Amino acid sequence: MTAATRADIAAGGSGFRSARRRVSAALFRRGWLRATLLLSPPGAWFVLIYLAALAILFVSAFWTVDAFTGNVVHSWTLENFKTIVTSPTYRTIAARTIGIAAAVTVTDALLAIPFAYFAARLAPRRLQTILFVIVLVPLWTSYLVRVYSWRLILAQNGILNWTLDKIGLGSVNIAYSNWAMWIVFSYLWLPFMILPVWVAFERVPGSLLEASADLGARGATTFRRVLLPLVLPGVVAGSIFTFSLTLGDFITPTLVGGAGSDFIGNVVYSNVGIANNVPFAAAFATIPLLVMGVYLLLARRMGAFEAL
């Protein structure tokens, strides 16, 4: 390498360097420019793909499919919504979906409150850490795997009936039924209820409980009249997950539900795939969207968003 080329490289290097310095100084002085440059790629992704997709979903709910050609007809109509409201089948499916979502939410709240109370306020530190990990393990184990496991547990020749038989209780026939869906959904979303309720119990100041005791309330009264109202926002926050996740599911009804256990999600799924009626699927998918919208508004009023 000659001295000349070395000098060239050095000069080129420092030229590059000063240019870089000028660019970075310019960017540093203009914060808005840097923010724009940083935000445009993720912003574009969300606006051009995700929001555009949601908009098309909403618009296509008002389109129809030509019965003969199977092509989507781009003319505005409320036909899809009329079908959903007037057909008893679809009304039953919507009622079943919302009903089971509500039942699962109540069940999870009842299971989670005593657990979270114990974990947050009575358990020693070390046990708290262990319980926390135990709650997280199912959350990060594959969803499909957990549903599959319950399919094996509840099956006619599964471990549940084997155990019941061993302790002399005969057997139950709840595989592939609404009962099975209720149990499995309650299992799947329980950690989502436990975590916000746990946090809510942790946040209650001990002085309030002492005050209640000083004023003559017994343990049960304090729990009911002081603790429960204070953790209610946490319960509502958890219920957003248990309710929303059940509402949008179709895998669990397919795998552990029976023949007559279709959810809104199943109808949507089969209309996208087999029946090829995307506008109708889109119209039916707006029901969980609307229900969740109303639910979130109510939840915000009850202060659930601060508890998240």
Partner 1 sequence: MEGTTRLSRVVLAVWCALIVLFLLFPIALIVLYAFNSSNVQSWPLPGLSTKWFSSTFSNAEMRSALWLSVRAALIATTIAIVLGSMAAFAVHRFRFFGRETVSFLLVLPLALPGIITGMALNSFFSWGGVALSLTTIVIGHATFCIVTVYNNALARLRRTQTSLVEASMDLGADGWQTFRHVTLPMVATALVAGGLLAFALSFDEVIVTTFTAGAQNTLPLWIFGNIRLGQQLPQVNVVVLMVIVVTIVPVTLAQRLTRDTGVLRPTAGAR
Candidate list 83, 102, 146, 270; residue touching partner 1; CB under 8 A = 146
| Residues that contact partner 1, how many (by CB under 8 A) | 96
Near partner 1 by CB under 8 A, which window of 84-92, 157-165, 172-180, 228-236? 157-165
102 scored as a contact of partner 1 (CB under 8 A): no
Subset of 186-215 contacting partner 1 (CB under 8 A): 187, 190-192, 195, 206, 209, 212-213
SS3 87: coil
Toward partner 1, which CB reaches closer, 67 or 145? Answer: 145
153 scored as a contact of partner 1 (CB under 8 A): yes
In sequence order, which residues have a C-beta less than 8 Å from that of residue 112 and are 6 or more positions away? 190, 193, 194, 197, 235, 238
> What are 280's two structure tokens?
């109708």
Toward partner 1, which CB reaches closer, 83 or 149? Answer: 149
In sequence order, which residues have a C-beta less than 8 Å from that of residue 190 and are 6 or more positions away? 108, 111, 112, 138
In sequence order, which residues have a C-beta less than 8 Å from that of residue 62 and are 6 or more positions away? 76, 77, 78, 80, 279, 283
103 scored as a contact of partner 1 (CB under 8 A): no
62 scored as a contact of partner 1 (CB under 8 A): no
Candidate list 102, 230, 302, 308; residue touching partner 1; CB under 8 A = 308
Candidate list 1, 3, 4, 145; residue touching partner 1; CB under 8 A = 145
46 scored as a contact of partner 1 (CB under 8 A): yes
Subset of 107-136 contacting partner 1 (CB under 8 A): 111, 114-115, 117-119, 121-123, 131, 134-136
Candidate list 90, 185, 269, 280; residue touching partner 1; CB under 8 A = 269
In sequence order, which residues have a C-beta less than 8 Å from that of residue 172 and are 6 or more positions away? 160, 161, 164
Q: How far apart are CA 144 and CA 147, in angstroms?
A: 5
SS3 6: helix
Toward partner 1, which CB reaches closer, 13 or 45? Answer: 45
Toward partner 1, which CB reaches closer, 7 or 53? Answer: 53
Tell me the closest approach of the beta carbon of residue 100 to partner 1, in angstroms: 14
Q: Residues 72-91 vs partner 1: string with x where CB under 8 A?
A: --------------------
93 scored as a contact of partner 1 (CB under 8 A): no
Candidate list 143, 202, 232, 275; residue touching partner 1; CB under 8 A = 143
Subset of 8-37 contacting partner 1 (CB under 8 A): 20-21, 24-25, 27-28, 31-32, 34-35
> What are 45's two structure tokens?
């992704």
Toward partner 1, which CB reaches closer, 27 or 85? Answer: 27
Helices (H) and strands (E) in the chain, counts: 15, 2
> What are 248's two structure tokens?
């949008």
> Looking at the chain, which runs of residues are DSSP E strands?
64-65, 72-73
Work out the angle between the directed axes of helices 178-203 and 143-154 (0-180°, nearest 10): 130
Q: How far apart are CA 264 and CA 287, in angstroms?
A: 8
